[in-house]
Structure 1
Amino acid sequence: MSSIRPVLRIFDIAKALEFYVGWLGFTLDWEHRFEPNTPVYMQVSMDDLVFHLSEHYGDACPGAKVYIEYSGDLAAYQQLLLDKQYRYYSPGLEDAPWGGKTMELIDPFGNKLLFAAPEKSS
């Protein structure tokens, strides 16, 4: 086994693209529909983080939570998101009880993304 691809349920492709691509900075890798006007299944990615987003009933339940180990500068990423002035979200940073920082985001469909950066050693 080499990777995990969480599948998150979505209900509106335009809202999903606005959130994941437009605001968070993911890239739309591909999308698939069996026929025109049928539910979409697509992949978005940023660096090594890859999600499958699905409008298909039964693929996933809204309200899932994904824990994301963030190896970069989480405060800088948070500031980048704040600077974009996304009208539906203004993320904050929190001290994690285990050390380091976390930033939890909730997508328009109720899925939670918990970005967690370890404590920097001196």
Structure 2
Amino acid sequence: MVEEVIPILRVENAAVAVAWYERLGFAQQWEHRFEPGFPAFVEVARSGVRLFLSEHTGDARPDTLLYLRVHDVDAVADEFGLRAEQMPWGAREFEVRDPDGNRLRVSTPGE
């Protein structure tokens, strides 16, 4: 087992959130509900990065900020009609909000 931290993000509608995170290159791994019609708890993954998306009230709060490093920030920014900016510390990055107000700062490190 590899030790890791997996952020949990609060989402209103897991299906909508999964579709949005797929635009960032994530894919749904699994979904759990205690019973049909109950809130969903979903895992999405991209390479070695995993996120939990939860419809459960109280699991997390909107307006969380995640920093996501990717190989090609420009390709990801294009998916959202945005442009990555060159930062003084060498990285290229942009910030986007998911449908639930969670913020993602997406970056490719400088060389």
Query: What TM-score do you get using the length of structure 1 for normalisation?
Result: 0.82
Residue matched to 2:92 = 101
Aligned pairs, number: 110
Residue matched to 2:10 = 9
Q: Name the aligned partner's letter for residue 36 of structure 2.
A: P
Unaligned runs of 5+ in 2: none
Residues 29-50 of structure 1 deviation map (CA, whole Å, 9 limit, x = unaligned): 0010000101000100010111
Instruction: Give % identity.
Output: 36
RMSD: 1.5
Residue matched to 1:73 = 72
Residue matched to 1:49 = 49
Residue matched to 1:32 = 32
Unaligned runs of 5+ in 1: 82-88
Q: Name the aligned partner's letter for residue 113 of structure 1.
A: L
Report the Cα distance in structure 1 between the residues aligned to 2:51 and 2:34, rounded to whole angstroms.
Answer: 20
